[in-house]
Amino acid sequence: MSNLSVLIEAPILLVQLVVSGILVGAIFALVAYGMALVWGVMNIINIAQGEFVMLGGYVVFYLAGAGVPPLLGIPIAAATMFALSFALYRAVIHRIVGRDMFVSILATFGISILLQQLANQLFSADIRTLSSGLPSLSFDNGMISIAGVKVVGFVAALVVGAALFLFLRHTRIGRAIRATAQNARAARVLGIDTDRVYATTFALNGAICGAAGGLVAMTWFVQPYLGLTYTLRSFMIVVAAGLGNLPGVIVAGSALGVLEEAAGFVLGAEYQTAFIFLLLIVLLVGRNLLLWRQRKYLR
């Protein structure tokens, strides 16, 4: 393939692809943290995850329009989405916790459509974008360039990952969350208000998504229909990392990012998405084979 030969001739391009992949993957990893949290603790696969990201992006966009510097808008977006997710939990989500996971998939799917279309009606489908005001870093005479905001995204993913890890391990609420994830009934018996735990977890997810949304708006753009991409990729990352493996999320995210860039370069970008989904299917089949072996022993 001619694309492959280009890569071989100029290995420096491989570096650009890898760097780009890691940075892009980090933003998806950020969203995946939230997805893993909600899935692990509440046993809900949140199909509306991408829509939370999208809304966070709009918050930052409109704040910027009102004069708030975009980078400052990120924590505000996180706070806004925290509140919104909390409200959503109280309104709808608390009714589907503990039910069949299929129910949660459908319900959150309905929410995702609702939010997406509401956004379309309220904000219009125009592509909105923001400048972070950060410079691009350039190396090797321009052969490698990194957008400053992507570095911020990567750092954010690391920071949030670490913060979550410490939070879950060393704070009371964090431990309550972990206890509830392990065994909700036992946690309740021990006096933990699991409803509050769930609300906090869901709201936390919202906050993470909100922050990610702000980064997305500055790195690329925001429009009402960008949600599905983030939902699917964050799901893939969680599956690849393995549920419960938070540090693995950023690794999986970056790995996925690199694979996607490489596949896009070599196979042609139109096969990029198909490639990683195929990968996902292969992963699932492979994972299943391992489980099947386990199941055999149980007979």
Partner 1 sequence: MHSKRNLLKAALAAALLGVAMPGTAATDDTITLGAAVSLTGKYSTNGKNTKDGYDLAAKVINDKGGVKIGGKAYKLKIVYYDDESTSARGAQLVERLIAQDHVDFVLGPYSSALTKSIAPVTEKYKMPMVEGNGADRDLFKQGYKYLFAVLNTSDYYLREAVNILAEQAKAAGRDPKSIKIAIAIENDNFSQDVRDGIVEDAKKYGMQIVIDDKLPADLNDMTATLTKVKALKPDALMISGHEKGAVLGIRQVAEQKVYVPMLALTHCDSAQITEKFGKESDYAFCGSQWDVSMTYKDHWFGDSKNYADMFKKAYNYDPPYQAAESTASVEVFADAIGRAGSVDKDKVRDALAKTDLMTFYGPVKFDASGKNIAKSMVMYQVQHEKYVVVAPSKWAEGKPIYPAPTWDKREADSKVSRK
Partner 2 sequence: MKRRSDIALLAGIGVLGVVAPWIAPTIVTQLAFLWLMILFAVTWDVNGGQMGYNSFGNVFFFGIGVYVCALIQRNAGLPYYPALFIGTALGGLGGLVAALALGPAILGIRGHYFAIATLGLSIVAADVASAWEYIGAASGLTLPQFPGAIGDRNRFFYYLLFALAAITFLAARALYRTRLGLAMNAIRDNEDKAEAMGVHTTRTKVFAWCVSAFFLGAAGGPVGNLVGFIDPRDLAFAGATFGVWMVLMAVLGGKGTLWGPVIGATIFHVTQELFWTYLLGWQRVAMGLLIVVIVVFFPTGVVGWLSRLRHPRKRLQSTTIAESAP
Which residues of the shown chain bind partner 2 in the complex (CB under 8 A)?
Answer: 45, 92, 95-96, 99-103, 105-107, 109-118, 120-121, 228, 232, 235, 239, 268, 270-271, 273-274, 277-278, 280-281, 284-285, 287-289, 291-292, 295, 298-299
Residue 115 interacts, among partner 2, partner 1, none and using kind-specific CB cut-offs from 5 to 8 Å, with partner 2
Angle at the Cα of 26 (from 23 to 31), degrees rounded to 5? 145
| Shortest Å distance, C-beta 88 to partner 1 | 22
User: Distance (Å, rounded) from C-alpha 16 to C-alpha 262?
Assistant: 10
Alpha helix stretches (DSSP H) within the chain: 2-9, 11-42, 49-65, 70-91, 101-123, 148-170, 172-182, 184-189, 194-219, 227-241, 246-267, 272-298
Question: Of the candidates 54, 64, 147, 164, which one interacts with partner 1 according to CB under 8 A?
Answer: 147
* Selected range binding partner 1 among 90-98, 160-168, 201-209, 261-269, rule: CB under 8 A: 261-269
Residue 6 interacts, among partner 1, partner 2, none and using kind-specific CB cut-offs from 5 to 8 Å, with partner 1
Residue 155 interacts, among partner 1, partner 2, none and using kind-specific CB cut-offs from 5 to 8 Å, with none
Residue 277 interacts, among partner 2, partner 1, none and using kind-specific CB cut-offs from 5 to 8 Å, with partner 2
Place of tokens 């899935």: 39
Q: Is 270 among the residues that bind partner 1 (CB under 8 A)?
A: yes
Within 13 A of 271's CA, how many CA atoms are on the CB side? 10
Site for partner 1 in 168-207 (CB under 8 A): none
| Shortest Å distance, C-beta 86 to partner 2 | 17
Residue 265 interacts, among partner 2, partner 1, none and using kind-specific CB cut-offs from 5 to 8 Å, with partner 1
Number of neighbours of residue 260 by Cβ within 10 angstroms? 23
C-alpha 218: how far from chain center = 16
* Selected range binding partner 1 among 9-17, 182-190, 201-209, 245-253, rule: CB under 8 A: 9-17
Beta bridge partners, 147, equal 136
| Shortest Å distance, C-beta 264 to partner 1 | 4
* Selected range binding partner 1 among 75-83, 102-110, 120-128, 247-255, rule: CB under 8 A: 120-128
**Closest-CA residue to 250 (of 21, 6, 12):** 21
